[in-house]
Structures are given as structure tokens and as C-alpha cells.
Amino acid sequence: MTKRLCSLLSLALAAGLTPLTTTIADETPRPAPPATPASMPTLADLQPAAARAKVRLSLPDWEQSPAALQASVDESIRRVDAALDKIGAQDRTKLNLDNTLRALDDETYPILKVANRVGLIEQTSTDKAMREKATELSKILSEWFVKTSFREDLYQVSKAYAASQPELEGEDKKLLQDTMRDYRRRGMDLDVQKRKQVEALQTELSNWGIEFQKNVNEAKTPVVFKGDELAGVPEDFLKKVKTGENEYTVDANITWQFINVMENASPEATRKRLKIARYSRAKDTNLALFANMLGNRRKIASLVGYDSWADYKIAPKMAKTAATASQFLERLRTGLQPKFDAELESLRTLKAKHTGNKDARIELWDMRYYLNQLKKTRYNVDTEQLRVFFRYENVLQGMFDIFQELFELKIQEIQAPYRWADGVTLYAISDAGTQAPLGLFYLDSFPRDGKYNHFAQFGITPGKLLPDGRYQRPVVAVVGNFPPASEDKPSLLTYDNVKTLFHEFGHALHSILTQARYTTFSGTSVPRDFVEAPSQMLENWVRDKEILDRFAFDYRDPSRKIPAPVLAKIEEARLGTIGSLYRRQLSFGIMDLALHTDPDGTAFANLAQATNAILSDVYVPVPPDTAFIAAFGHLAGGYDAGYYGYAWSDAISADMASVFKQSKGGLMDRAVGKRLREEIYAVGDSRDVNESIRIFLGRERSLDAFFQQIGLTDKPD
């Protein structure tokens, strides 16, 4: 997942500036991080190369107190407002690209950087007061972005410049087209009363989205178990969650803890308790909030001329219409039905054998456990035993080595002048040939109290061409929650963890390798139904034996690699369980589109019951009296009417990966890697992504590779 703020010119006015965080427990301030070794390169060491390349390579001045954070936001709003006032007051007969669209991109840039810092601080700070202040300021900034996007003077300047019919090409032409499109979509051509109504609805929607996320962040979901209730769970995990004599506390809001128990705990009652806790997070507060959000979305869509919020949100994306997105999901649902049915029967047979009940049925809390058991019994794949091959440090360096070679890069750790927590590291990426710096990224890999509890890339400093002619190189953060080291063992990742690391690093590369001139087109600022594709594609590298052998070796005996037959079984297991895994994803996407195409809200009057019914129909029955939707942050924070994009992007990523697989050098073909870097990563959204994909592929798009990837030999109708 990638998290970013959009620029003024392409502001996605949906709610939610930031993603979910984990439950907050210990709120004591953390000590200052230990000093970085003096022998490590510094940012200053890279400045001569930056000067030669005419780029600006810089880190933020990180605010370290609530007062400093407040001051930064206040000053940024004051300065940007003053600059925008001047743009809006210009003589309409003297407009040009520099004093309109470029000026807007330049003058809103500082507040984007501040907003990105606020968002990251909210999710990663070890200080509760800082997190709370950041949440407060997120609302202020969100309201400012909404208000600014509806400014009449800026609209009239842009409209007057567009009316002059300037002769523009390439990125400049697209900037003008997208700017006027977005103004129309905001309802700026409506009468004043309706426009103000849209603005008020958007402001409410934005604030409710932030409140939704905050409620999930603060949800208290500890579930206490006795030792025998966690039978089957790895001993290493039990050590990390032990809270008393024969007492273990598992937090259902912390993903890695939840998954570990759901995949390994043999007592069904344990899995059921934890699943219900997970699916009940924030339901007392967020169900009403989300219902309000749906209402505002319907009203906005109607006011600006769309049949539904889904049509409104999808119009500027690749799919274009809700009908197209829905047809895509339903085609996959139908195509996967035989596989899904067969897999469910295999799981049911396992449960019947395990419980001695020939009439056993598979419940939602059984899915992860019996999928894991199926991999062990039918495919002889034990994910826990594979951990010894994936020591975190080895995987990280191996990943760096692979993509340094493939994309002709240099990745080096440098001293971090400031780190928000122990263990946060800072890296610089440069071009291997010219030594030109390309960007910086922080890595915050392990869980702690008060931190975002999943995996995402956060934008910090977007790339853009500065008014002085230099290019501001991007800064991002990759935030994760990998299993931490224990007293007697290093951090050992699961195979899925490794895929996740490659995926999130793909987002970082997409951001850092950008060459787009404008912030609004920079890096991952692409249509949401494409944004996952360049990172999903890198997961293919984790399935290749030769590439895995570079870094996947037993940390106790480096001569031991994962045997080829084991990898073959892993692939067989993937294909043998993908129907279940994909149907789960499809259930979320289908539910999302149903929510956002309901014309008057009557179909979802009972929100929890109606959404649970869809999830139950597409996947497996959801426990009654739970409310998955109440903590489904995707639909409150930017993926609303867009969750289909994961599958849509996955289809594109499979097609793009096929270019590597069919090339002479395979997945390490440098010529194809260069084309990916130049035609996908560097371009961002500075041209239509359909054109970028076509140029990279050297042909039109195809679904063949995707159907093969998910094990469908016959193309779904």
C-alpha cells in the first residue's frame, strides 16, 4: 500500500489523510535513539554529486514537539494563502503557464510537505501527545485543502488561462487538462449555492474520515488466553505475548499477532474469539460515522452529475465506470468459482478429519488455519520452518542487491540526523552510472506501541522541478511490522513477509525514481487502479529459485538454501489455495462497489448486516453481530469505490512481469529493467498510464498472464 497526499491540482477530496495505527498501550516517552556510527556516510557526503546533477537532496526539519508541529502548520497555511491570493488576483489578460498552473504547483508544494510530515508523525511517533496533535492538525489541513480547492479566484484564473487555448504539449498539456477536469468534478461550474453545498459536504466527509481512522487506532482489542488455548502456536511467538503465569495477551488490532494465531492455533474456540474481536473493532463508533460518510458521498456525486459515488471516483481512473470495474470483479468471481468450491471442500475434509465430525463446516475463523494445514499436509510446505531462510537483514540486503543490479542503482545506508524511534534507518538511492542522487528513504520495520500496525509506504517529500531549475529528489518512508528479534533468535520473516517487503519497496522505487516535472504527477500519483501494479510485480522475484538463492539461506548454516522441490511445492500450494485467497479480496471489492452504487442508501440501512451479507455470499459466512466494515480503513481513507484496483492492478502487474520472464535475461534482464525504470517509474502520471503500459509492454495489454498466475487455464467469460 502507498500513502500520499495529492497536490491541490489533483486533490482527491475523499476523507482520510493517513492510514490506520495500532492500539496504543505504553505511552511513556522513548529515550533518544543511539548515535549512528561515525564511519557511515552522511547526507553532506552526497551533496557534491547532487550539485553536479542539479538536484536538491534534503531531509525535512522534523518537528519534535506539539508546539513546533502547530507552528509549522500555521506558518505554512499563512504563507501559502498569501501566495495563492497573488495568483488569484492577477490580470486575466496576462496569464501564462508560469503564472497559473506552474505557480499553483510551486506555491502549494510547501504545505504538501508539511501535511505529509503530519501524517507520518501521526502514525509513527513514540509520543502520544505528538500523535494527538498530528490528528488534530490533519483535520485542519484537510479542511484547508478542501476550502482551497473550491477557491473561486483560482478557478477563474485557471479557467481564463484554459480559454486562451494555449499551445501546450506533453506534461504541460496534461496538467491543464487534468486541472480543468478536476475543477469540473468538484462542481465549480455549478451555481454558487450548490457549489457551497458540495464544499460543506466534502469538509464533513474529510473530518469524518480522520475520525474513523482515529477510532480504529484507539480500539482496545486485547484477548487473553491460557497456554492450552494457544496449542500449535510457535513458541517464539508465545514468548513475545506472555503477560503472566500461563497467560498470553494477543492484540487483535496488531496484524502480525492476529495472523500468527489464526494460522497456527489448533483450538477452534481460540480462533473464533480472536476473529470476532478483530471483526468488532470500533463498531460502536464507526458504524454511524461510516453511514454518514456514505450519505455525503451520494449527495456529492448527485450534485456534480454522477449516478453514484463509484462512478464519480472511477471516472478519472483506468476503469472509467463502476460498471466496468464491477464486470471485471464478477468475471473473476465466476471464473474462480470451481477452484474456490474445490478448495473449500479440501478444507472441510481436513477439518472433519481434525475434529472427528464428518459434517464439519468451514467457518470464517477456520480459513487461515486450514489453508495453512492444507499447505503442510497436501503440499508439504511448513511456513514456520521456512523462516530460518529469511533472516531480515539478509533479505533486506539481498533485495537491495537485486534491484541495484536490475535498475542500475546504488543503495547505501547513511546517517540519519533525526530518527523518530530506535531502529529507524535511512538510505540513499543514486544512479549507479552517474552517481546522481535519486532520493532518500527511511525504513521503520518493527512493531511498537502506538505505531501504524500494517505495511505501507508514506510519501514525505514529493519529487518535482523547482523554480530555480533544480529537481527536488523525493523522500519517503517504508513502514512495516515484521516479526521482531527475540533474545535467542534474529528477526525471521515468513515467505509472505518477504513478498510484502519487496512489494513496499516497489512503491518506494516508484516514488524515488520519478522524473515528473509537477508534484501532481510525481511518483505514485497515478490512478489508484494502477498504483499497486509496479509494486505487485516485484513479488514475482520472490518466486524465482536463482534470485532467492542470493539471500534465502539458513542463518545458522549459510550453505543451506531452499531446495528446488520445496519451491516447486510452494508454487503448487499457491495455485492450490489461490481461489480462496482471491475470493476474499473479491468480497471486499464487490462489497465496496455495492456500497457506493446504492442510489439512496436503503440497501444498507443496517450497515453491518448488509455488508456482512455480501462478504458471506462471496467468501464464507461472517460471524453474526460483528462489523468488519467498522474498521475497514481502506474505504474511509482513499480506496473507497477503489478496492477493485488491487485485482485490476494485479492483472497489469502479471502482464508486465511476463515481459521479464520472456526476455533473454529473465527477471534480471537489465534492458527490460531499464525500460521499466524509464517508462513506468520515472514517468509517473505525467502521461496517460495506458500509454506508459503500452510502451513498456511493446504491445497492447493482455489478461493471459494474469489468468495463468491465478491458475485459470480457461479464460473466464
405 is catalytic: no
C-alpha cell at 67: 508546539
Q: What is the 3-state secondary structure (H, E, C) of 634-659?
A: HHCCCCCCCCCHHHHHHHHHHHHHHH
Q: Any idea what DSSP says for residue 426? A: E
C-alpha cell at 247: 497467560
Strand 471-472 versus strand 55-56 pairing type: parallel
Residues 6+ apart with CB under 8 A from 602: none
> Would you say 459 and 499 are in contact if contact means Cβ atoms under 8 Å apart?
no
Return the H-helix or E-strand segment holding 143. helix 128-149
Neighbours of 496 (CB within 10 A): 13
Q: What is the 3-state secondary structure (H, E, C) of 291-329?
A: HHHHHHHHHHHHHCCCCCHHHHHHCCCCCCCHHHHHHHH
Q: How far apart are the first and last CA of the chain?
A: 30
Q: What does residue 553 show for φ and ψ, rounded to 5 degrees?
A: -140, 155
User: Catalytic pick from 136, 199, 263, 504?
Assistant: 504
* C-alpha dist (Å) from residue 61 to 111, 117, 275, 298: 14, 10, 42, 40
User: Nearest 10 degrees: CA dihedral of 39, 44, 47, 49?
Assistant: 0
Return the H-helix or E-strand segment holding 409. strand 409-414
> Would you say 447 and 453 are in contact if contact means Cβ atoms under 8 Å apart?
yes
Active site residues per annotation: 504
